[in-house]
Structure 1
Amino acid sequence: MSRLLARTSGKAAALFIRRFNSLSDKVTNLRLRLALFHDFIYGTATSIWGTAVWTRAVGNSVIAGSTVRAAGDGFAQAKTYIASPDYGALHALIIGIDGYESKKIQPLRGGVYDADAMDKYLREDLRVPAHQILNLRDRSATRSAIIRELKALARNPSIKPNDPVLIFFAGHGVSAKAPPSWESGSGIISMLAPYDCFGTESNGKTILPIPDRTIGALLHEIAEGRGLTGTGKGNNITVILDCCFSGSGTRSIERSSVHLERGFRLDSSLSVPPSLDDEIWRGPHTSRAIDPMTGFTMSGLSSHVLLAACRELEQAHEIDGRGLFTSALIHALRLGEINKLTYKGLMRRVLRDSSLKDQIPQCEGRYINRVLFNNADSASGPWAIYPVSRTHLGFTIDAGSVHGITRNDRFLVYATSGCSPDDTPLAIMAVTTVGAVSTVLSLGSELAQDIPIPCFALHSFRKARSLRLHLACWAEPGSILHTLRTQLAQSELPIVFRENEEEADLTIRVRDGHIEYTMEDPVTISHRLSKPCMTTAADFRQVQHVLQAAARFFWHFTRSPESRLIARHGLRVRIYELCEDLDAGLDNNLRVQLKPHGEDLNHLGVVSIEADNKTAYGVAVESDIGVPLHVWACYFDCGDLSIKHYYQPPACGDRGEPALPAKGRLTIGFGDGGGSPWTYFVAPGRDTDVGYLKVFVSTQPIDLSDMAQCSPFRIDGSMERGGRELVHPPKEGWEVVTVAIIHRKPGTDPPSLYT
């Protein structure tokens, strides 16, 4: 009788939905609410990695609504919320320049308009108090004024630590030859042109543009404070630059007279002296760095998120007195839900603007996964969210096997990106085809036309490799582990039990009334090192939390491409101890430059280092492949099951530039490749630790920012422990290279790496 009732109700609901399909969006919303109510009464529970979702068939499709109680686990999961930023605490410096004092510089028409538009958005949309916004336009935007106001942000007592700070510039950018001792991989530096650029100072010297080194030092000072400038404001800083550094600074002959480029190259008759602004950038800077080597964390793109109008070698354009980038940016901001929108999500919105076909805006920095103007990361947990597009293949997302997607996975579909598994989805899509960096999703034809484009797919169900778990001495009825095994067998966790430690990923024991976890790492076993152990209380909730993290850890740790397309053509990862390069000056991020010291430490995929938490180490990725590659690196800590980003490209997104040149080399932590050098340490009470550096490379842009996870053993959630020639595009593919890193307590003997 219950089955008949469910079938009858399903048919009635389907007819009800079809009749309402032609009505307004309000009725569509009502339909979903009714579906959720119906599911609650007649639905069936389907576990999606720990979240119970009530599902009901509608034609060949499924609509779902979620509850907060996980099936079979016996306890309720708390719903995750993202705290709304306090826009009333935001302070901003808004700079816009059209007319320049020097006749050598082509005037613009949209710099002031864009700055005014940003000022209006802050005041009217975000309700930022007007007295917290400092505006500089044309004559007031002199070199000294811009530097003065940037310094004032660092000294302003009204700005508390972690308050949001916004710096906006619309005007001309400048590129120039790097002066001697200013490290630059390309030999070129980027600069901002103030109103009085190329004017004359009182001492007769030419007023030069403001170099990136100076801007970087001032941003660093805002973030951390220096000397008597006051307490550091933290890294909740957003920098928006609507300019370029490779334009001509003149009207384009091929374009309308109202189409201008916002950038030019410094005339060869002028040079940048090595001492320019050295009173600003030469001073020592403190740092809160822990894992990355001290002095590097807040340098460069660790102190702020940068939203730039275009790539380094592209031009930023304005048409009819408006900057294309700023117009697209403000439009994207006004689409709503910015209290849930990350910087990366914002840039996805911007890139959909068709007016930007000749320039590709960039989103750069360590914190691009933060919610806008908020110092907290997006509370999306392990859930990955991807924009959905409709192609001739069907519904498509720009993520594939390199991201961990498999043919049996499921995605919840939402109208907006600010979603979580606890929200009611529009539908559930199944994976049809998985490529290296793209996936085709399918949906029943009954609802296919109702899905808005763009929409967003949340990776909800993963047919992951099961965690191989060994429970030591579990067989005694009534014992803690016997009860635990019974509970785990009834749960939805992807676990398979192993009777021998050698066949397991993780071993659980009971010791002194607590649960002890031991990772069965092959390097630890083969080199006869002590196994890392962590403990929790003998509480099923805590055990489940650890095992969920362990399942995710081993899933990402063990996966590799089905076809080793790239590896067989030559890919090497070298690891070096680093030392200061005494013959080189500071780089553009005010960092002491480092260089390799000694030979490559990587012996057949294993590195043994003395972990004194002082010595810096860097990585070089070398390729013999004839196409450039995109690189992402993560560090897997076997001691606490955390995954942290070791290297990520400075600009993430669908159109990011590859970091590893064709038949070239990418350096991480030294040279001009970017990234931080790292130090290593041994956990208290241990002589050795083991972790794995996994370097992912791909022929297409990849974004693996969702791979990171905190240790399940850290209550505070911290991440510590890391005539045009026909050109054929490269075949899609990805690869991963894994290097084991053994941390040795100073004074202990290194294991043999050749046994």
Structure 2
Amino acid sequence: MVHLFAYLVSIEQYADPEWPIVKGADRDTSRTVAYLNKLEVPQENVLVLTGQSATREAIITKFQEHLINNPKIKRGDPILFHFSGHGSRSAAPKGWKVIEDEEEEEEELRRQVEMIIPWDEGVEDLTGRKICGIPDRTIGALLSKVAKLHGDNITVVLDCCHSGHGTRGGNDSATKFFEEYSARGVDPLRTTPLREDIDQNILAEDLSSPKSFRRGGFSQSHGGNHVLMAACGQKESAMGNKNGGLLTTYWLDALQRDIYPRTYAELMKYVDKQLEPLRLKHPQFINQHPQCEGVVRDRLVFEETMMSSDYFPAERRKDLGENIVRIEAGEVQGIQQGTLFELHEMDNRLQSQRTMGSATAIEVNAADCIAEFAEGIVFDGSKCTALVLQHRYHLKYSVDDATQTSPAAKKTLALLRKSLSKTQPNVSSLAEEVPHGEAVDLVIKIDSSGEVILDRRDSFLRTLKTDPPRIQPDEMETANFPYILNAIARFNMHLALTNPKHPLIDNIEFSFHRLEQSGKIEEWDDDDPLLEPAEKIPFVDDEARFVQRDDDRYAFILDNKHPTPLYPYLVYFDPTTYEIATWYTPFEAQKATLPATQSLQIGASPEHQGSFQFFLPEGAELDTSFIKLVVLDSISKMDFMNQRPVLGTDEDGESIVKKGAQHRAGGQGAQTKGRWDSIIRILTVTRQ
């Protein structure tokens, strides 16, 4: 039995008889219910709203009753919201600031937000006002409330489109096609305009609402607290037939197949692959590319825990040998010959994973490797996942334990030694202590007040002019030094990882730009402007220095002069907190987003809608971070680098050391074989 809560809404026929029927919408709901029954989800946990019952008021009220104010939901329980019906766009009401990061071909679609269409859209309410759609911002606010109360194990499936381009056309082939299929969107010009006061009571409660709202619709509505499975991109049409929507059909199919790892991202890859034959067969009418959005899309489906970024997809390859697996991790992930993996078989049910045994890399390519597994391992199927188990890289550190002899220093030293003596379960240690005085990457010092100073000696960080990281005496009781040192080791290792042959970088120009508004903005116009690259901030000795201004936005531009299309990844390294974050990946496009002899803008562009901002920590005069551009000639898993901050304070001002967050260590040293390369640049922001 799975303690999941689902809210399913489907609308085939609308109150407005002129609106086209949404073929298969109710079938989506009935098949989803059947799947949930297979999972043994209790019937009282599943709420279904269909047809004329799915009014605007009912959709919102039942959402609040079933998914927000439901005492049966325990924090962390999986929550599903599924909508099948029409979607559209509407002009943002006055006062809703919308940052437009991409150009629209049609002027009337500028400054528009996305919405789902309830059954009674366009019908007059009791006050004589026409009922409008439910905008993305309202759905985002409701989801934010769900996450606040019940956790972020939330899945949103929207089998509709928002472009309003689903028109029939007039030739015989179009007539024949639309006898079988229907588009799930309506022309924005036919929808009721959103009022200024729409859903004010809901939006007023949403403390996470941004001051301005970036265009991008549901994919940008609080994407940090849920995973969104959307039927298509912004300018595409979602299609369906009598059997159901194409997204729901293949999504349910994927859920019942042996797909490893069983993450949202991997399942959506399967859905997109199944749609390809239909796109080829009906190129005039089917152009939808399903989208998987959200920072937790690598989470296992309907599970609260993330699929560890250190797990890599693997497949048995009998054609290469009886005991051979191909693992999707190679030189760019730091894999070397002799790297030891632990293989895991993941069951098709929730919360089930079995350790199979170990495998050793015997041949390493740029983004994958061939590994030989030990005798006696039994495969149930051909797919599994692989965890890097044994690392060759070690952070060498020493403890300066003789300089200070004050009572506070002695107390800190005792707590430090106690913490270092503890082992980390399921973690291969990357840190090695050596006697003080030897050449090391890090020296742990203690001053007379009992404060710990991390004196960095490695080649990348020793020249930084920022203050070294510190751990306060009142943080020592909870400080987990094996974990902190492992995180520092991962940071140093992945920052330094490079391909000494540099087969690609010589033909790539990497530049950093401040953005400015495009065109004149009138005083009466309160809209946020379009942004475009302006001042180019030069890299001098690989470092760009610029002054912090609260309103400034930035973007990166890549210019590929190489004859090969490339897959770029942009990774952020913060040496103050040791955070690593992937800022850009071509995952969404599933194609080379840096074409041959073309350029790519990362920030305030269709490829990466959000621009970048940089702020100084309180009291600091300057702050330095590293930006690493990694390029390959094939797509690869790169979020393995990501790790949360281990030092400093979080967004609420709480000590990260006291909270003691955990992260499994992963990664290796460098190799030189494959078609991959990297560029490292330093960004230093200063005060006026």
Query: Normalising to structure 1: TM-score of the pair?
Result: 0.65
Query: Aligned residue for 1:397?
Result: 327
Deviations 1:546-580 (A, max 9, x none): 22222211111111234423321123131427789
Query: Aligned residue for 1:716?
Result: 659
Displacement of 1:619 = 2.2
Q: Is residue 603 from structure 1 mapped to residue 539 from structure 2 by the alignment?
A: yes
CA distance in 1, matches of 2:11, 2:434: 65
The 3 A distance-change label for structure 1 pair 581 and 665 is same
Displacement of 1:461 = 2.7
Q: 1:549 aligns with which of 460, 474, 487?
A: 487
Deviations 1:481-518 (A, max 9, x none): 99899989xx9744577899996432222434665322
Q: Is residue 737 from structure 1 mapped to residue 642 from structure 2 by the alignment?
A: no
| Contact 1:680 1:743 survives alignment (8 Å) | yes
Query: Aligned residue for 1:407?
Result: 337
Displacement of 1:337 = 12
| Contact 1:243 1:262 survives alignment (8 Å) | no
| Contact 1:468 1:505 survives alignment (8 Å) | yes
The 3 A distance-change label for structure 1 pair 678 and 295 is farther
Displacement of 1:409 = 1.6
Q: 2:264 aligns with which of 343, 361, 383?
A: 343
Deviations 1:449-469 (A, max 9, x none): x42334222222354433243
Paired AA for residue 602 in structure 2: T
Q: 2:603 aligns with which of 655, 668, 688?
A: 668
The 3 A distance-change label for structure 1 pair 164 and 453 is closer
CA distance in 2, matches of 1:574, 1:117: 49
The 3 A distance-change label for structure 1 pair 594 and 254 is closer
Paired AA for residue 635 in structure 1: Y
Q: 1:624 aligns with which of 536, 560, 567?
A: 560
Secondary structure of residue in 2 paired with 1:115: helix
| Contact 1:151 1:222 survives alignment (8 Å) | yes
CA distance in 2, matches of 1:273, 1:98: 16
Query: Aligned residue for 2:631?
Result: 697
Displacement of 1:326 = 2.1
Q: Is residue 241 from structure 1 mapped to residue 158 from structure 2 by the alignment?
A: yes
Deviations 1:621-650 (A, max 9, x none): 32234665444333222123222343455x
Instruction: Structure 2: give runs of 5+ residues left out of the alignment.
Output: 280-287, 405-409, 648-655, 663-672
Paired AA for residue 681 in structure 1: L
Query: Aligned residue for 1:14?
Result: none
Structure 1 window deviating more from structure 2 (270-279 vs 453-462): it is 270-279
The 3 A distance-change label for structure 1 pair 357 and 406 is farther
Query: Aligned residue for 2:9?
Result: 94
The 3 A distance-change label for structure 1 pair 701 and 218 is farther
Q: Is residue 458 from structure 1 mapped to residue 368 from structure 2 by the alignment?
A: no
| Contact 2:543 2:683 survives alignment (8 Å) | yes
Query: Aligned residue for 2:33?
Result: 119
| Contact 2:565 2:595 survives alignment (8 Å) | yes
Deviations 1:284-306 (A, max 9, x none): 7787679x999779745335321
Instruction: Structure 1: give runs of 5+ residues left out of the alignment.
Output: 1-83, 720-730, 748-755
| Contact 2:347 2:353 survives alignment (8 Å) | no
Query: Aligned residue for 1:68?
Result: none
Secondary structure of residue in 1 paired with 2:468: coil
Q: 1:222 aligns with which of 123, 142, 156?
A: 142
Displacement of 1:472 = 4.2
The 3 A distance-change label for structure 1 pair 530 and 483 is closer
Displacement of 1:222 = 0.9
**Residues 17-416 of structure 1: pairs in structure 2 closer than 5 A:** 86-87=3-4, 90-97=5-12, 102=17, 105=20, 107-122=21-36, 125=39, 127-130=41-44, 133-137=47-51, 139-141=52-54, 156=69, 165-172=79-86, 183=100, 184-187=102-105, 194=117, 210=133, 215-224=135-144, 236-243=153-160, 253=173, 260-263=180-183, 271=189, 276=194, 278-280=196-198, 299=221, 301-310=223-232, 318=240, 321-334=243-256, 342-347=263-268, 358=279, 361-373=290-302, 376-378=304-306, 380=308, 383-388=310-315, 390=317, 392-393=319-320, 395-416=325-346
CA distance in 1, matches of 2:437, 2:530: 43
The 3 A distance-change label for structure 1 pair 593 and 243 is same
Query: Aligned residue for 1:58?
Result: none
Query: Aligned residue for 2:580?
Result: 643
Displacement of 1:179 = 12
**Residues 553-592 of structure 1: pairs in structure 2 closer than 5 A:** 553-576=491-514, 583=521, 592=528
Secondary structure of residue in 2 paired with 1:119: helix
| Contact 1:413 1:428 survives alignment (8 Å) | yes
The number of equivalent residue pairs is 621
CA distance in 2, matches of 1:321, 1:130: 26
| Contact 2:239 2:246 survives alignment (8 Å) | yes
Query: Aligned residue for 2:612?
Result: 677
| Contact 1:669 1:678 survives alignment (8 Å) | no
Paired AA for residue 739 in structure 1: R
CA distance in 1, matches of 2:486, 2:685: 26
Query: Normalising to structure 2: TM-score of the pair?
Result: 0.70
CA distance in 2, matches of 1:342, 1:540: 33
Query: Aligned residue for 1:727?
Result: none
The 3 A distance-change label for structure 1 pair 408 and 175 is farther
Displacement of 1:408 = 2.5
CA distance in 2, matches of 1:352, 1:647: 23
Secondary structure of residue in 2 paired with 1:415: strand
The 3 A distance-change label for structure 1 pair 582 and 415 is farther
Displacement of 1:343 = 2.7
The 3 A distance-change label for structure 1 pair 405 and 544 is same
Displacement of 1:151 = 7.7
Displacement of 1:395 = 3.0
| Contact 2:166 2:237 survives alignment (8 Å) | yes
Query: Aligned residue for 1:426?
Result: 356
Deviations 1:29-52 (A, max 9, x none): xxxxxxxxxxxxxxxxxxxxxxxx
| Contact 1:168 1:241 survives alignment (8 Å) | yes
Query: Aligned residue for 2:373?
Result: 443
| Contact 1:470 1:498 survives alignment (8 Å) | yes
The 3 A distance-change label for structure 1 pair 371 and 487 is closer
CA distance in 1, matches of 2:115, 2:141: 18
Displacement of 1:221 = 2.0
Deviations 1:136-182 (A, max 9, x none): 23x44466765776687798576898775532123455689999988
The 3 A distance-change label for structure 1 pair 496 and 192 is closer
Deviations 1:297-344 (A, max 9, x none): 974533532113455676655566244432333344356999x95433
Displacement of 1:700 = 2.9
| CA-atom RMSD in angstroms | 5.6
Deviations 1:198-243 (A, max 9, x none): 978699x999995xxx532112221346xxx998877554221234
Q: 1:506 aligns with which of 442, 446, 467?
A: 442
Secondary structure of residue in 2 paired with 1:301: coil
The 3 A distance-change label for structure 1 pair 383 and 571 is same
The percentage of counterpart residues that share the same residue type is 19
CA distance in 2, matches of 1:432, 1:619: 40
